[in-house]
């Protein structure tokens, strides 16, 4: 029997950031229900399909990425709707409640799971972080259901409480998992240490809803390395047209007024903006 997940926090609740942060700390995950409307999620599916077709995106070539799963990386460069979704305020506030101010975007990826996909290997997204487990969250993954996530079509597998386990999952071991069933527009927020993986798609493909469309929008604390190199992933003249908050999230920002400077200037100087830094050194006194 699959495990069950705690009830979702409605996106309209007054205290979403605090509730999400508390549940992620306690359980390693939290679902926020209905962050997007079904129509908004459907419009993003259409955008994913457009980019897949334009770039002839193929299924994965290894077991981890999935032989029946299409992934588009660096999605923010693929269209404005993807950039808008990164800036969704409820989810950003929840991420800040977990990672603290000056956190960064770490990557944007779509995962389109088709029939016949097998369950992805369980893993933790911060598995490369050289800190002994368990440790406070340095990374947060938000998994957005763009279509309904059902157990049969590949809803994400989650091992509740696994962010506190001292080890990473070993390939081949069997573990009880919960299936993160969510309606289109809902978001699963994961502590970076939580064991999870894409689910199996056991449908026969006879219905359009058998295709499972999801987005992974990942964040890291401001002192960590981002998984995707977002600074190099988009030409600087294009980044200059992005909303200021997105520029900051990509990395044109500083952590605690020191990490990220460029020749003692704020990196936004590279975007043609005022780069006068508010350096922490200026305030340090004996």
User: At closest approach, how far in Å is the CB of 161 from ligand AKG?
Assistant: 17
Provide the token pair at 8. 């979702």
Comparing CB distances to ligand AKG, the nearer of 16 and 145 is: 145
Nearer to ligand AKG, 115 or 214 (CB): 214
Residue 189: C-alpha distances to residues 44, 72, 108, 185 (Å): 19, 20, 14, 13
Q: Please give the residue ranges that form the binding site for ligand AKG (CB under 6 A).
A: 111, 120, 143, 156, 196-198, 214
What is the nearest approach in angstroms of ligand AKG to the Cβ of residue 143?
A: 6
Q: Are 271 and 252 in contact (CB under 8 A)?
A: yes
Q: Is 226 helix (H, G, I), strand (E, B) or coil?
A: coil
When the beta carbons of 16 and 158 are compared against ligand AKG, the nearer one is 158
Which is closer to ligand AKG, CB of 195 or CB of 252? Answer: 195
Within 13 Å and on the Cβ side, how many CA atoms surround 218?
Answer: 26
- For residue 94, the minimal CB distance to ligand AKG (Å) is 19
Position of tokens 């079509």? 153
Cβ 78 to ligand AKG shortest distance, Å: 17
Please state, in angstroms and as integers, the Cα–Cα distance from residue 43 to each residue in 98, 199, 248, following that order.
Answer: 29, 23, 26
Q: What are phi and psi of 25, to 5 degrees?
A: -65, -40
In whole angstroms, the minimum distance from the beta carbon of 178 to ligand AKG comes to 12
- DSSP-assigned letter for residue 153: G
Closer to ligand AKG by CB, 51 or 270: give it: 51
């Amino acid at each position: 029997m699959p495990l069950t997940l705690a009830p979702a926090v409605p996106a309209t609740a007054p205290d979403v950031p605090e509730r999400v942060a508390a549940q992620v700390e306690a359980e390693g995950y939290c679902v926020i229900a209905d962050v997007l409307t079904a129509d908004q999620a459907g419009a993003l599916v259409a955008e994913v399909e457009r980019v897949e077709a334009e770039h002839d995106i193929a299924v994965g070539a290894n077991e981890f990425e999935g032989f029946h799963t299409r992934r588009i990386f660096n999605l923010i460069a693929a269209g404005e709707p993807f950039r808008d979704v990164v800036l969704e305020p409820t989810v950003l506030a929840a991420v800040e409640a977990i990672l603290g101010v000056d956190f960064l975007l770490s990557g944007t990826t779509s995962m389109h799971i088709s029939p016949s996909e097998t369950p992805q290997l369980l893993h933790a997204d911060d598995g490369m972080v050289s800190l002994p487990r368990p440790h406070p969250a340095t990374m947060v993954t938000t998994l957005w259901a763009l279509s309904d996530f059902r157990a049969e079509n590949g809803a994400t597998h989650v091992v509740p409480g696994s962010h506190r386990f001292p080890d990473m999952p070993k390939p081949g071991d069997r573990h009880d998992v919960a299936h993160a069933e969510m309606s289109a527009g809902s978001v699963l927020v994961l502590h970076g240490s939580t064991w999870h993986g894409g689910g199996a798609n056991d449908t026969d493909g006879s219905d359009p809803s058998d295709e499972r469309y999801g987005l992974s929008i990942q964040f890291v604390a401001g002192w960590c390395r981002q998984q995707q190199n977002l600074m190099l992933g988009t030409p600087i003249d294009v980044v200059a047209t992005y909303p200021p908050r997105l520029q900051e999230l990509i990395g044109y920002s500083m952590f605690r007024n020191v990490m990220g400077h460029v020749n003692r200037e704020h990196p936004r100087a590279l975007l043609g903006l005022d780069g006068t830094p508010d350096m922490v050194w200026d305030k340090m006194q004996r």
